[in-house]
Amino acid sequence: MTQQTWNAQQYINHASFVPQLANPVLDLLNPKSGETILDLGCGDGALTLKISEAGATVQGIDSSESMIEMAQQRGLAAEVGSGENLQFNRQFDAVFSNAALHWMPDYHAVINGVNRALKDKGRFVGEFGGQGNIGALIEAMQTVFAQHPEYGEFKHPWFFPSASEYQQALEARGFQVNYMELIPRPTPLKTGVREWLKIFARQITQDLNQEQKETFYQEAEMLLKPVLYSEKEGWVADYVRLRFAAFKG
């Protein structure tokens, strides 16, 4: 599977709910003036900016050039890089990550890199998709693929661990876990499920031609309507967050 690609403007237009819903994990991070913080998977820098407004010195890193350009336009220190191959050494008081770690399936490499990047007693605070996240969305996409064998094998790129699995992975690499919670968080999709699929299912549809992609969006939307849509609330995605805070022991 090739890498997910991002278009920062499309993300801002249709997925700005992602940073907008991040207050609980920002509160958990509790950034302080004078701290140095790494924002891992910083995207367009919306949260990196908030952390810097608290007085911390923040460095953003993201695998997408388009996102990093947007973060730099906000005046942030941000660089292109892989979370699975972090090259920092004992320089951060905290590593923060929102809605990014599920895109990094080599989580052992991520946790090792975070551990190296932190000073002693530094903290790793984050939130990402946990066990059961977007279950209905995945099932619908899988069903469409099953109905069209010509689309090839259905594979998705995400890693959605249980709380115990992630806690064990952190502890095995020298972290002490203070907080770990799996939180169902139904998430309104104001611009609809089709836009969500266009942004987030890009790797899944990468080998389909334009006509096949259209059919994929249409059929997935049809399957999902009875499950995720209501007249009253519109489209609401079945998100489940795994929120955590751990210290380098």
Q: Does 138 bind ligand BEZ (CB under 6 A)?
A: no
Q: Hey, which residues between 103 and 122 contact ligand BEZ (CB under 6 A)?
A: none
Q: Hey, which residues between 85 and 104 contact ligand BEZ (CB under 6 A)?
A: 99, 102
Q: Are strands 92-98 and 118-129 parallel, antiparallel or unpaired?
A: parallel
* Nearest distance in Å: CB 6, ligand BEZ: 11
* Helix axes 135-147 and 193-200, enclosed angle (nearest 10): 80
**What are the b/e assignments for 153-168, b being 16+ CB within 10 Å?**
eeebbbbbbebeebbe
In 3D, which of 223, 209, 235 has the Cα closest to residue 141?
A: 223
* Nearest distance in Å: CB 89, ligand BEZ: 29
Q: Hey, which residues between 155 and 174 contact ligand BEZ (CB under 6 A)?
A: 158
CB-CB neighbours of 36 under 10 Å: 14
Cα dist. 54→32, 158, 246 in Å?
A: 6, 31, 21
* Nearest distance in Å: CB 197, ligand BEZ: 10
In the list 44, 129, 166, 238, the residue contacting ligand BEZ (rule: CB under 6 A) is 129
Site string for ligand BEZ, 191-230 (x = CB under 6 A): ---------x------------------------------
Contact residues: ligand BEZ, CB under 6 A:
99, 102, 129, 133-134, 158, 200, 239
